[in-house]
């Protein structure tokens, strides 16, 4: 992949406090500062677990992701979302190797 | 989400036979027939397991995904890839609730 492609990906499952999944998803996707190096940030509701969210992220590289965690808007979202989080499930880092679109 | 957004997502971990991950990833992302209702098809190499791939898919709905599995090119890819697959790991269906881009 060239420089304009993501080289770092994250998949994570987040478990919300009972009944708080939609509220947590809303916080995770609120408007944020510009995120240099972010290619995609997807939030989905797990179809099997009514409290679980999946988050898939694509970044230019691992440093770009780490830097984003320091931004004021992300820090604010973390502070706001933390009380709604019961725990974390599966988590994986990956290297995007291909992205096909029809 | 409106009609032009995906309503069905899949996350799956696939375990390749030892040493066959790159070959399997190549098969999974070969040119295929047009895939009606497909919004994204991402393949990534797990950073922790040298034999594991992650596949993230976004579809208009579950029926669009099911229909894709019947297409000749997907059937051919399944037949070609099957000998390279050792097993499957995590798998989840989800409903995309938000997709933010910077």
- Domain presence at residue A86: yes
Q: Is A18 on the interface with B (CB under 8 A)?
A: no
Q: Per the domain annotation, does A30 fall within a domain?
A: yes
Are A82 and B34 in contact by the 8 Å Cβ rule? The answer is no
CA distance A47 to chain B (A): 5
Please say if the pLDDT value at position A101 is more than 60.
no
Q: Is residue B4 part of a domain?
A: no
In a domain, A1, yes or no: no
Among the partner-chain residues B39, B58, B98, the one whose CB lies closest to the CB of A29 is B98
Q: Please tell me the distance from the alpha carbon of residue B59 to that of residue B66, in angstroms, as a whole number.
A: 10
Whether chain A has a CB inside 8 Å of the CB on B51: the answer is no
Alpha-carbon span A13 to A20, nearest angstrom: 15
What is the DSSP code string of B79-100? HHHGGGEEEEEEEEEEEEEEEE
Task: Reply yes or no on whether the pLDDT at B99 is more than 70.
Answer: no
pLDDT band at A2 (very low <50, low <70, confident <90, very high): very low
Instruction: Report d(CA A88, CA A55) in Å as an integer.
Output: 11
Does residue B62 register a pLDDT over 80? yes
Residues of B in contact with A22 (CB under 8 A): 97
* Domain assignment present for A13: no
* A54 at B interface, C-beta within 8 A: yes
- Chain B partners of A102 at a C-beta cutoff of 8 Å? 32, 34-36, 38, 41
> Does A69 reach chain B within 8 Å, measured CB to CB?
no
- What is the per-residue pLDDT for B2? 47
Going by pLDDT thresholds of 50, 70 and 90, the confidence category of residue A98 is confident
**How far, in Å, CA of B21 to CA of B24, rounded?**
5
- Residue B47's pLDDT is what? 98
Query: In this structure, is residue A2 part of a structural domain?
Result: no
Taking 60 as the threshold, does the pLDDT of residue B101 lie above it?
Answer: no
Closest CA of chain B from A68, distance in Å: 11
For residue B11, is it within any domain?
no
Q: What is the mean pLDDT of chain B?
A: 90
pLDDT of residue A62: 96
Token digits for A76?
């604010």
Q: Express each pLDDT in B12-46 by its tens digit.
A: 999 999 999 999 999 998 866 678 899 999 999 99
Q: What is the pTM of this model?
A: 0.91
CATH number of the domain to which B66 belongs: 3.30.70.100
Look at chain B and report how many structural domains it folds into.
1
Average pLDDT over residues A69-82: 92
Nearest CA to CA, how far is A99 from chain B (Å)?
Answer: 5
Decide if A101 is inside a domain. Answer: no
pLDDT, tens digit, for every residue of A13-61? 999 999 999 999 999 988 666 789 999 999 999 999 999 999 999 999 9
Q: At what angle do helices B72-81 and B21-28 cross, to 10 degrees?
A: 170
Q: Provide the ipTM.
A: 0.89
| Domain containing residue B70 | 21-94
pLDDT at A100: 58
Q: What percent of chain B has pLDDT over 70?
A: 90
In this predicted structure, the answer to whether residue B3 has a pLDDT above a threshold of 60 is no
Q: How far apart are CA B96 and CA A37, in angstroms?
A: 22
Is B78 touching A (CB cutoff 8 A)? no
Determine the number of helices (DSSP H) and then strands (DSSP E) in chain A.
3, 4
């Amino acid at each position: 992949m060239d420089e304009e492609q993501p080289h770092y990906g994250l998949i994570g499952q987040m478990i919300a406090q009972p009944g708080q999944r939609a509220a947590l998803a809303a916080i995770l996707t609120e408007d944020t500062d510009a995120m240099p190096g972010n290619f995609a940030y997807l939030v989905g509701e797990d179809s099997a677990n009514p409290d679980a969210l999946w988050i898939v992220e694509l970044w230019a590289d691992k440093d770009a992701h780490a830097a984003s965690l320091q931004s004021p808007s992300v820090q604010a979202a973390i502070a706001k979302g933390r009380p709604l989080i019961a725990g974390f499930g599966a988590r994986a880092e990956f290297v995007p190797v291909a992205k096909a679109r029809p």
